[in-house]
A and B are shown apart, each in its own frame.
Chain A
Amino acid sequence: MRLWRMNLLVLSAYAIIGGLVVVLYGQSATIGSIDWDWEFTRNEVLPRLIQVVPITIQATFLGFGIAVVLGLVLAIGRLSKNVWISRPVTEVIEFVRGTPLLVQIFFLFFILPDYGIVLPAFLTGVLALGLHYSTYCSEVYRAGLENIPRGQWEAAIALNLGPLRTFKDIIVPQAIPPIVPALGNYLIAMFKDTPLLSFIAVVEIMQEAKIIGSEWYVFREPITIVGLFFLLMSVVAAIGVRRLEAWFRVRRH
Chain B
Amino acid sequence: MKRHYIFLILILSFFAGLAVASFAGFKDFLPALLRGSVVTIKLTVMAYIVALVLAFAAGLAKLSPLWSIRWLAIGYIEIFRGTSSLVQLFWIFFVLPEFGIMLEPMQAGVLALGLNVGAYGAEVVRAAVLAVPREQYEVTTALNFSRAMALRRIILPQAIVAMIPTWGNLFIELLKGTALVSVITLTDLTFAAYQLNQSVLKTMEIFGLALVIYYFMAQVSRIATSALEERLGQGLSRGRA
Residues of A that sit less than 8 Å from B by CB: 3, 6-7, 10-11, 14, 25, 28, 30-32, 34, 91, 95, 98-104, 106-107, 110-111, 114, 192-196, 198-199, 206, 210, 213, 218-220, 223-224, 226-227, 230-231, 234-235, 238
Contact = CB atoms under 8 A, between A and B. Distances in A.
Q: Which 9 A-B pairs have the closest CB atoms?
A: A31-B100, A234-B82, A100-B179, A10-B68, A110-B203, A192-B84, A195-B86, A102-B179, A100-B176
A102 B99 contact: no
Contacts of A218: 98
B91 interface: yes
B82 A14 contact: no
Given A100-B175, A231-B78, A234-B82, 10 more contacts: A3-B66, A32-B100, A98-B214, A99-B211, A100-B176, A196-B86, A206-B84, A220-B95, A223-B94, A230-B82
Given A10-B68, A103-B214, A219-B90, A193 B84 contact: yes
B197 A106 contact: yes
14 contacts: A10-B66, A14-B72, A95-B215, A98-B214, A99-B218, A100-B179, A106-B190, A106-B193, A110-B197, A192-B83, A192-B85, A195-B86, A220-B95, A235-B78
Contact of B99 (A10, A32, A196, A227): A32
Contact of B190 (A100, A114, A235): A100
Contacts of A231: 78-79, 82-83
A227 B203 contact: no
A102 B82 CA distance: 20
A193 B79 CA distance: 16
Given A102-B179, A223-B90, A230 B83 contact: yes
Contacts of B218: 98-99
Contact of A219 (B69, B98, B207, B214): B98
B86 A206 contact: yes
Contacts of A199: 182-183
B176 A101 contact: yes
Nearest to A25: B100
Contacts of B84: 192-195, 206, 227, 230
B5 interface: no
